[in-house]
Structure 1
Amino acid sequence: GHCLWPRRSGFAGMAAADGADAASDIRIGDRVRDKSGNRATVRYLGPVATSKSADAVYVGVEWDAEGRGKNDGSVVTDAGETVRYFECEPGMGSFLKAKLVDRGVNLVSALEEKYVDSTQGGGEVIAESGEAVEVILVGEDEARRRQQLHRLWNVALLSKGVSRIDADTVASAAPSLVELDLSSNLLCRWTDIAALGAGAPKLRTLNLSGNAMSRPTPADAASLAATPLARLGVLVLSGCGVTVSDLLVLRPAAAFPALRELHLASNCIRGIEASEPGAAAAQPADKSAAPSAAEPTERETADQLAAALPRLETLNLSGNALTSWSHVWRLSRLPSLQRLILAGNALTEAAYGPSLAAAWPLPAELPQEKASEYSLRVATRLYPCETAVEAAPTPAAAAAAAAAAAAAAGGGGGGGGSGVRRGPRGAPSRGCARASGCSGFGSCRAPTPQAGGPRPDRVCPTCGRTPCR
């Protein structure tokens, strides 16, 4: 349900629009809106078979909102013939007259509309007739406008219809931008984002959430690398449909060299996938196409991510469609990662399988019978999740636990320096003894008579605690 996204594509340039001045500046792939503010993506420009005028040019759009449209990109003629112009889900497509489509505004126009005081300079004088006549001082008004924009550093332009950014006008009008929120606008081209690198060199925080960004290409990566957002530390791409492989195509180490916080929430990300081994190559235009024969290994994927995001400290992947811990594990090589947010992902797998074993071998000093316990501890410590995960003790682990229990019973738990159990890195295990399968790592996972029941009912028979998540 939460992964309904308009399909993204590249741009096919200007479509034929004979005799339609209103559609002359609209391109296939543009983001537009109607008079009510409903947003859509342009999928077709041209005549429609059911139109009364053969020369009329219509804009075929795919709406963001499900059920907003009237068709699936096709029309049915009076003769019963179905003519298709583009494809989308039923009830998501419409054909509109060009004059009903709003292509949006540029960034500086939106800034002026919201932040510039519309009060004109000047005043009133009394004419010979005795009437008050307003006098507008144009030079003074222009100076006031420039001064107001030049002082702006923290800007929020939510749902203002911003669809394009020009580097020169931004540099001239608002060169002091540090924090910019462009959520829920009509941006879709990465070249517009590259324009911010030249026009707003001081920018440190950029929020693009809710903009349906197009599929990035190597040309987009080159544009971003040519004018990088050198100081950008926080980038929000939530609800933009941007996947991890899309991000790698953009070469973020060059485009956003100072990036330390990245938000990719609610982007329908189903896996942590990389581009072709050894390089962030362009992805195919059709995401449903068969994968390349040269699929990158998990270790290659992890290495690409580490090289692409060397300074990243916080990564937000909440609200996506991740299900396998093996994909999450690929993030473990990010050298600076301190905070990983996975809320809202139905993660169910925590096994240390053959593919993980090949990519991340167990420590040499760890006995093989401890493999399951080791992988479970690492997974739950590094990637806490509300999903309950249980690991059955191996026979060797059960025997060792029984021996530890017998030793504890014989020793009486008094002195001898053995009264405090130690967990990982020497931390006290909060009184848990290594008995009856209790891990002794501050996360009791003991088999009990209620072994098949709900997790909150399970109590460690040794320490009397409810197992930790």
Structure 2
Amino acid sequence: MAAELPEDALGRRVLCGQHRATVRFVGAVPPTEGVWLGVEWDDPTRGKHDGSREGVRYFTCSHPTGGSFVRPSKASFGADFLSVLRQRYDDEESDEEIKVSGKTLKWTEVKERSLESFSVILLENCPVNGPGVDGQIRQTTPNVRWLNLSGSLLCGWDDVAAVARQLEHLEGLHLSFNRLRLPSEIAAHRGAFNNLRVLTLMSCRLTWTQVLECAPMWPHLEELIVEDNDITRLHRPEGVFGELRCLDLSKNPLQQDSLLNLAHLPRLQHLIMTDTDFCDIRFPDAAPGAETSSFASLENLNLSCNRISEWRVIDELGKLPSLRQLWCRGNFLVSDDRNPKTANQMLIAKLPHLCILNGTEVTLQERKGAECDYLKMFGEEWMQSVARSPSRREFSNRHPRYSALVDKYGAPEEGELKKRQPFALKNQLLKITFVFADEESRTPLVKKLPVTMEVRKVKGLLARIMKVPVSDLKLSYTSAKVVGPEYDMDGDLKTLFFYNVEDGDTILVRRS
């Protein structure tokens, strides 16, 4: 049963069933009797209006259908940190797992241990609404290093800081799927996160300005995950993020020209920008083929599932002095022969320091083969440009590494400059294994499909086999060359070729 309506209900976070919301209004809504809560849902599809009813505005929402009126009896305001932890601790039916002193234990096993020994606490999707009595967290769970409070009922950073201040060894904090008010005073919380190294803030509706405003609280942060927020324009971090090594900006609609505002971060090694509509970048401080001073430490760059279609973007990435790993699946880069393998060779040839491409090691033999083939591919064009100065400059701008490859291997011989036969993309068949992730008893299905086949047609084939509607199916795939990453195939009109699905890959089939 829901708790009594607190005096400070306005602005509080609530749980209605399994859905979270923020209280924007408390009061009467004529002609009905009694008190109502006007809530703004985290999921705006649950709402019915924007905070107005019959011409009267009671509150405002950021989404036109993000609001509803609910009775207080339907809303839970949660409980303090230790109350929620103990409730889970006493739940004999729970099959949750938790890490204690480096070991993974069942929750029932954890009951035999003291809370003082906990190094990791997982309270994701639990109704934690605040720290409780000051000092009790420090006394009860003093050794916590990793804390997950994703999907909580915390209202703002003041509450988060009040918890973190009592966890002096806290290194990792997960706060995804929360709606956190900005702190009332940044300076008051500078010491609350002194040991914090990893911070996850997925789907919190944050802007970059808000992230930078909070950043002084995290002086030693090394990894920041802000996937799926409201980040558009990136502003230059001034006096913050000096120790940041990994930044995940995936699924944010970034403005292309603002990326360079991150270029001076001195220790940034890993930048993840999947599904950000990224399509272009320029490093004006470096001529074609030279090295840029931007992103001096950047070693690992993930640009999968974007809109890169021009090879000059890869030439610009070739200016990065430390780039060793690149993920570039799901873009629009194609070679003249439309062969994905040729496109990969061009990526390797254009990026001189690349050691790993899409999770696969680039061996010395592969690099030599890619660079020699690149010399042959454009050798005729290069020879024609040598005699004419304007053409030579134009060729060098489009192929900034070519002269270095000539110095490395020698000029291609005339007999090697034969044009390749056009690649018949439509005739290429891929051997695909379909695994039914939701139906473990169903035997995996192996099919040969044309690389030009659209996702919708793949779904149609599977729908007929499984006897389910096409709209019920959701597809993703894993590479045969790389263990681990799974890539969504959410564009029904896109082809297997677009997603860089290769021979031997696995497509996972799920019911949506």
| TM-fit CA distance, 1:147 | 6.9
- Name the CA distance, whole Å, in 1 between partners of 2:185 and 2:46: 32
- Classify 1:26/1:268 alpha carbon distance in 2 versus 1 (closer, same or farther; 3 Å): same
Q: For 1:428-450, what per-residue CA distance to the aligned partner results, in whole angstroms no more than 9, with x for missing partners?
A: 67323263358374999x9x999
Match of 2:226 among 264, 276, 291: 264
- Name the CA distance, whole Å, in 2 between partners of 1:183 and 1:105: 15
Aligned amino acid, residue 222 of structure 1: A
Partner of 1:150: 116
- Classify 1:197/1:340 alpha carbon distance in 2 versus 1 (closer, same or farther; 3 Å): same
- Larger strand proportion, structure 1 or 2? 2
Q: Is the 8 A contact 1:69 1:92 kept in 2?
A: yes
Q: Is the 8 A contact 2:12 2:22 kept in 1?
A: yes
SS at match of 2:164: helix
- Name the CA distance, whole Å, in 2 between partners of 1:61 and 1:313: 38
Match of 1:49 among 15, 20, 30: 30
- The alignment status of 1:243 with 2:216, answered yes or no, reads no
| TM-fit CA distance, 1:72 | 2.6
Q: Is the 8 A contact 2:119 2:146 kept in 1?
A: yes
The residue correspondences of 1:13-412 to structure 2 (distance < 5 A) are 22-34=4-16, 36-52=17-33, 56-76=34-54, 82-88=55-61, 89-116=63-90, 148-166=114-132, 167-214=134-181, 216-217=182-183, 219-225=184-190, 227-252=191-216, 255-272=217-234, 274=235, 301=236, 304=238, 307-324=239-256, 326-350=257-281, 352=282, 357=284, 361-362=285-286, 375=316, 377-378=318-319, 385=328, 386-388=330-332
TM-score by length of 1: 0.60
Aligned amino acid, residue 312 of structure 1: L
Identify the structure with bigger relative contact order (alpha carbons < 8 Å, sequence gap 6+).
1
- Name the CA distance, whole Å, in 1 between partners of 2:164 and 2:286: 44
Output the aligned Cα RMSD. 4.3
- Classify 1:41/1:439 alpha carbon distance in 2 versus 1 (closer, same or farther; 3 Å): same
Q: Is the 8 A contact 1:146 1:173 kept in 2?
A: no
SS at match of 1:328: helix
Aligned amino acid, residue 220 of structure 2: A
Q: Is the 8 A contact 2:13 2:21 kept in 1?
A: yes
Q: Is the 8 A contact 1:323 1:348 kept in 2?
A: no
- Name the CA distance, whole Å, in 1 between partners of 2:275 and 2:178: 21
How many residues align? The count is 329
Aligned amino acid, residue 148 of structure 1: S
| TM-fit CA distance, 1:364 | 11
Aligned identity (percent) is: 27
Q: For 1:318-373, what per-residue CA distance to the aligned partner results, in whole angstroms no more than 9, with x for missing partners?
A: 1221251x2223222111111111112211223x3xxx64xxx2369969xxx988
- Classify 1:169/1:334 alpha carbon distance in 2 versus 1 (closer, same or farther; 3 Å): same
| TM-fit CA distance, 1:312 | 1.0
- Classify 1:365/1:116 alpha carbon distance in 2 versus 1 (closer, same or farther; 3 Å): closer
Aligned amino acid, residue 269 of structure 1: I
- Classify 1:365/1:181 alpha carbon distance in 2 versus 1 (closer, same or farther; 3 Å): closer
TM-score by length of 2: 0.55
SS at match of 1:50: coil
Q: Is the 8 A contact 1:191 1:223 kept in 2?
A: no
- Classify 1:423/1:191 alpha carbon distance in 2 versus 1 (closer, same or farther; 3 Å): closer
- Name the CA distance, whole Å, in 2 between partners of 1:240 and 1:116: 30
Match of 2:371 among 430, 439, 443: 430
- Name the CA distance, whole Å, in 1 between partners of 2:231 and 2:177: 15
Give the unaligned 5+ runs of structure 2.
94-109, 292-311, 336-348, 355-366, 382-394, 406-416, 429-499, 501-512
SS at match of 1:33: strand
